[in-house]
Homo-oligomer: A and B are copies of this chain.
């Protein structure tokens, strides 16, 4: 269950209205890397961790709830940046129409600027809209939740990176020190969350490859030089790179010839990999057994109940399982 308190997590303030920046700031209200996307990403991921991994569930819900609180800060700031607009629109019978607005002299500058986002004027009446900075509605397709923590936590780290750079860019477009303060807080929290997710990922062993299955050793270490001319080499396509000792990248300089020679990779014999297909299958089985048991152990009983009342410890959902109707 959620609670709300009227105080914001950060004391958001603005020096004066600025509808143009309000429009840019919508990117963090309803945009792909905005606060609602963040909140819903962690909230949605949390459900399948609830029982098997209650510690990660706690972390995801802590951060999701913080992101909802950030969404509120962004919405509050957008609203303050539009201060005056709603009141002006209420003055519907006023004689002097604001129509053409092509010359700025003697016109309401505030209204003029709001034209950069017409939805402020004719849809939301001076409040935020659940869109990005160009008016594209928020989409559920922004949410990554794939039911596997070694994947989801990586998605989360990348999402925090994108949210951080977005705040960094936004700070270039306002000179209001009060708004800067809020943006700096929000940007910094993305860094903090990035660190939390990274630390959590490190507690899962193994976490590479993500998911359960190992890669097929015939295909893991090859690099295809598919963009010809001005080729570059580096640890991403030569030498040991990120691989184990004794392993290295295999650089396919002429992919078309390679494909024909190997009959479409079917006959490709890897030479720079140490692991065998048998070892791969062994690892696959072992991790399959371990991870599926971890999950099933906690979720198999029925009927099931989500919460126990009250719950003080991370063990409580399991107690709940023993409750029968």
Contact = CB atoms under 8 A, between A and B. Distances in A.
3 closest cross-chain pairs (CB), A and B: A125-B147, A11-B264, A134-B135
Contacts of A61: 4, 6, 226-227
Contact of A65 (B142, B157, B227): B227
A246 interface: no
Nearest to A147: B125
Given A47-B76, A79-B47, A176-B99, A230 B122 contact: no
A229 B62 contact: no
Given A3-B228, A92-B213, A288-B93, A173 B101 contact: yes
Interface string A279-300: 0010011011101111110011
Contact of A87 (B7, B93, B187, B292): B292
Interface in A150-186: 150-151, 154-155, 157-159, 161-162, 164-166, 168-176, 178, 180-181, 184-185
B65 A309 contact: no
Contact of A86 (B158, B199, B209, B295): B295
24 contacts: A6-B307, A13-B325, A15-B325, A32-B144, A84-B299, A89-B172, A90-B291, A90-B295, A92-B288, A93-B284, A93-B288, A102-B113, A121-B169, A123-B146, A124-B146, A131-B140, A132-B135, A144-B158, A155-B158, A184-B216, A191-B209, A192-B219, A199-B234, A199-B241
